[in-house]
């Protein structure tokens, strides 16, 4: 790495509340890796896809306001949420490929004294680790290889699709999370559910679908020999961990699968303690697979 | 170049083998050969009993959709050698989320039933509107949804349909927008009401498989988003899906962020929220219960409020222009 990596840091709403542990851990991990994270105090919610259903132009403008803040800071955005990643990158892709949309959106931004030129890129922690930071550099920082862990990488939907707006991983054979797991000394488990959906978007709308889906993914990874899951997305984490018990009841099967945030797994390998990374906040305790 | 094709076969008439199984075929492939051409070659040279659908061989008829190495594709527009080089294997299976009838042929009756459910033809307006011309601009809003060739790739990839067979699914939803978005349609509101029912458009899990794997760039998710916002603008709000979106839009306008406790309450309503209390307490034991009151606002929230007003203003102006 020639220069120090610096990002406008966008943890996303979930990791400022329900999944706080992911936010806290990401900050600790970034410090250990020498990545600078700069807060965005004005940044609003990206809309999590729901604002897209409400009003398309509003969704674009709200996101453009976030990009304008990062543009003023002179930095790209790093998020730790796949849904934020997908929503923001899709908005940014549409703005960058349609001068008409960019102009219309800037008309709206002008009423609050803002302007977006279209120079910001949005990334997530996973991409930064597997991309700009680099797997070899990450490997060098590992002090406690996780060599006893067999981990199911759960990419989830929004770090892969739509690939025209996302584009980092191949949606049919993603590698980044598998490679990060290997760099931390652990063994990735292959299973078909790794590119599928956790069901989060319908948690409150189609409860049974969401719970059966969550159980299906967890059981798939378990069948292929995983002793834990890791996900780059806090919403996937909410379903796979917080709601695992409800999912178990729905399918009448015991699952008992610990689920880590990506930052937590990296943190463990870099020598952070279970307290540092907030493991007591998980509903399915990961303590039995810790060493 | 010789490539091994692993094909998932099934023959319901074979009493010994009443279960799907994989059969391997070695095929000599040439540069530019499509997966469909390779299957035809197997048919002609090795095994005339291998069953699959095909017709136009030009990505127009939509008959030859199958799963290739795990993902739904039109086999007539997918070349063997690049796919094999990328994946290191060649596994052919029938479309998912549909019953395998024989080998690579699936029962598409449920697929057609779903399409029929959205009334795939125009409902005329009343007598006053005897003639309604369609401008180029009008056509643009439904153009993408009209590209569908009914191949079934989207429904095969749909994660909500994988779990809930009653889900209306992306193909029919994209078709629904074809008519809801048509300026000549007379029954928009009734259509949107029906689509807002259980197993309807709000049950989409936004996994984006449909848009990713549609070979014709119909982008079904985009059509679903347009259906949803049309329903909300038409005032069809008394269902969990629309309530969820309203709660979200309200939360972002008020505090700039997602206020999870308020969203849960507004989506589920009072009675169902009470049912969540035991679960909420369990979350609280782990410090995971979101703050229900005094949610902290972002800085310059007034900018967000102003953006809401301006976007709404732009929307109304556009509607006016359209009517003129």
Instruction: Examine the domain organization and report whether B99 and B113 are in the same domain.
Output: no
pLDDT for B208: 98
The CATH number assigned to the domain holding B23 equals 3.10.20.30
Cα pseudo-dihedral A193, A196, A199, A201, rounded to 10:
160
CA distance B177 to chain A (A): 14
Cβ contacts of B310 on chain A, cutoff 8 Å: 61, 107-108, 111
Interchain pair A201, B206: CB under 8 A: yes
**pLDDT < 70 stretches in chain B:** 129, 290-294, 324
Is it the case that residue A162 has pLDDT exceeding 70?
Answer: yes
Domain A142-281 has CATH 3.40.50.11810: yes
- Residues spanned by the domain of B245: 240-323
Determine the Cα–Cα distance for residues A204 and B244; give it in Å rounded to an integer.
8
Closest chain A residue to B68 measured between Cα atoms?
Answer: A172
Determine the Cα–Cα distance for residues A142 and A269; give it in Å rounded to an integer. Answer: 5
Q: How many domains does chain B have?
A: 3
A82 with A159: CB under 8 angstroms? yes
Q: What is the pLDDT of residues A13-66, one digit of tens each?
A: 999 989 999 999 999 999 999 999 999 999 999 999 999 999 999 999 999 999
In this complex, the residue of B228, B290, B314 whose CB is nearest that of residue A104 is B314
Give the pLDDT confidence score for residue A189 in this predicted structure.
98
Record: contact A44-B207, CB cut-off 8 A: no
CA distances from A67 to A62, A64, A149, A173, A181 (A): 9, 5, 38, 30, 31
| A201/B205 CB distance under 8 A | yes
The complex scores an ipTM of 0.96
Instruction: Quick: pLDDT tens for B120-136.
Output: 999 988 777 677 889 99
Kindly give the pairing relationship between strand A6-10 and strand A76-79.
Answer: parallel
**Domain limits, chain A:** 6-124, 142-281
Q: What is the CATH number of domain A6-124?
A: 1.20.1050.140
B272 and B319, same structural domain? yes
Which contacts of A248-253 are long-range, i.e. CB under 8 A and separated by 24 or more positions? A248/A215, A249/A211, A250/A208, A250/A211, A250/A212, A250/A215, A251/A211, A251/A212, A251/A215, A251/A216, A251/A219, A253/A215, A253/A219
Residues B101 and B115 in one domain: no
Of B205, B225, B232, the CB nearest to A202: B205
Q: Are residues B15 and B126 in the same domain?
A: no
**Pair of tokens at residue A175:** 């590698």
Distances (CA, A) of A32 to A12, A28, A269: 22, 6, 11
pLDDT band of residue A140 (cuts 50, 70, 90) is very high
Interface-testing mutation among B192, B205, B280, B284, with chain A (most A C-beta atoms within 10 A): B205
The pLDDT assigned to A156 comes to: 95
Mind telling me how many Å the CA of A204 is from chain B's nearest CA? Answer: 7
Are B311 and B247 found together in one domain? yes
Interface of B with A in 158-187 (CB under 8 A): 159-160, 162-164, 167
The answer on B226 and B118 residing in a single domain is: yes
| Closest chain A CA to residue B268 | A204
CATH of the domain at B190: 1.10.1060.10
pLDDT in tens, A59-113: 999 999 999 999 999 999 999 999 999 999 999 999 999 999 999 999 999 999 9
Are the beta carbons of A17 and B204 separated by less than 8 Å? no
CA distance B34 to B73: 11
Say whether both B61 and B14 belong to one domain: yes
Query: Domain boundary residue among B89, B106, B123?
Result: B106
Q: Is B99 on the interface with A (CB under 8 A)?
A: no
In this prediction, residue B16 carries a pLDDT of 73
The minimal CB distance from B303 to the residues A52, A112, A282 is found for A112
Per-residue confidence (pLDDT) for residue B280, from 0 to 100: 78
Strands B65-68, B105-106: pairing kind:
unpaired
Residues in Cβ contact with A115 at an 8 Å cutoff, skipping those fewer than 6 apart: A68, A106, A109
Shared domain check, B199 and B143: yes
Contact yes or no for A45 and B291 at CB 8 A: no
Is the domain of B228 the same as that of B114?
A: yes
* Touching B: A residues 130-189, CB under 8 Å: 157-158, 161-163, 171-173
Give the C-alpha separation, B30 to B242, whole Å.
52
**Residue A2 above 60 pLDDT?**
no
């Amino acid at each position: 790495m020639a220069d120090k990596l610096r990002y406008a840091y966008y943890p996303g709403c979930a990791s400022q509340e329900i999944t706080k542990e992911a936010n806290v851990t990401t900050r600790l991990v970034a410090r250990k890796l020498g990545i600078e994270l700069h807060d965005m105090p004005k940044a609003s919610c990206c809309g999590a896809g729901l604002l897209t259903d409400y009003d398309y132009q509003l969704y674009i403008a709200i996101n453009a306001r976030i990009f304008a803040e990062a543009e003023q800071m002179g930095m790209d955005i790093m998020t730790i949420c796949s849904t934020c990643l997908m929503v923001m990158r899709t908005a940014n892709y549409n703005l960058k490929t349609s001068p008409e949309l960019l102009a219309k959106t800037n008309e709206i931004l002008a009423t609050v004294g803002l302007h977006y030129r279209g120079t910001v890129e949005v990334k997530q922690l996973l991409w930064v680790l597997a991309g700009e930071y680099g797997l070899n550099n990450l490997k060098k920082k590992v002090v406690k290889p996780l060599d006893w862990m067999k981990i199911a990488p759960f990419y989830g939907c929004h770090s892969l699709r739509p690939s025209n707006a996302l584009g980092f991983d191949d949606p049919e054979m993603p590698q980044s999370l598998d490679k990060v797991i290997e760099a931390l000394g652990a063994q990735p488990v292959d299973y078909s559910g790794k590119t599928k959906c956790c069901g989060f978007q319908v948690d409150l709308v189609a409860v049974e679908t969401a719970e059966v889906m969550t159980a299906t993914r967890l059981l798939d990874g378990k069948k292929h020999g995983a002793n834990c899951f890791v996900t780059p997305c806090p919403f996937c984490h909410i379903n796979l961990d917080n709601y695992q018990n409800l999912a178990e009841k729905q399918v009448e099967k015991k699952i008992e699968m610990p689920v880590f945030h990506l930052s937590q797994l990296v943190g463990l390998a870099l020598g952070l303690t279970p307290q540092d990374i907030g493991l007591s906040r998980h509903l399915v305790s990961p303590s039995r697979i810790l060493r | 170049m010789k490539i091994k094709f692993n094909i998932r076969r099934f023959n319901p008439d074979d009493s010994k083998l009443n279960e799907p199984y994989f059969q391997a075929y070695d095929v000599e492939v040439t540069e530019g050969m499509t997966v469909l051409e390779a299957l035809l070659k197997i048919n002609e040279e090795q095994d005339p009993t291998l069953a699959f659908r095909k017709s136009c061989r030009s990505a127009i008829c939509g008959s030859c959709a199958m799963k290739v190495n795990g993902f739904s594709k039109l086999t007539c527009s997918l070349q063997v050698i690049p796919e094999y080089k990328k994946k290191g294997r060649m596994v052919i299976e029938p479309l998912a989320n549909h019953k395998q009838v024989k080998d690579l042929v699936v029962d598409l009756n449920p697929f057609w039933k779903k399409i029929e459910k959205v009334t795939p033809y125009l409902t005329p307006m009343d007598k006053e509107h005897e003639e309604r011309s369609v401008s180029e601009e009008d056509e643009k809003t439904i153009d993408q949804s009209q590209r569908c060739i009914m191949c079934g790739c989207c429904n095969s990839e749909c994660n909500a349909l994988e779990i809930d067979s009653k889900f209306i699914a992306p193909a029919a939803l994209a078709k629904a927008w074809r008519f809801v978005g048509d300026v000549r349609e007379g029954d928009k509101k009734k259509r949107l009401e029906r689509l807002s029912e259980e197993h309807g458009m709000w049950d989409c899990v936004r996994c984006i498989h449909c848009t990713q794997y549609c070979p014709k760039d119909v982008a079904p998710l985009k059509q679903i988003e347009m259906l949803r916002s049309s329903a909300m603008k038409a005032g069809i709000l008394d269902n969990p899906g629309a309530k969820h979106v309203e709660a979200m839009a309200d939360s972002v306008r008020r505090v700039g962020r997602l206020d999870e406790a308020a969203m849960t309450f507004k989506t589920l309503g009072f009675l169902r929220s009470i049912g969540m209390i035991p679960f909420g307490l369990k979350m609280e034991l782990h410090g995971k219960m979101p703050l229900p009151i005094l949610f902290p606002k972002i800085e310059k929230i007034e900018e967000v409020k102003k953006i809401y007003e301006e976007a709404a203003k732009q929307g109304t102006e556009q509607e006016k222009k359209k009517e003129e």
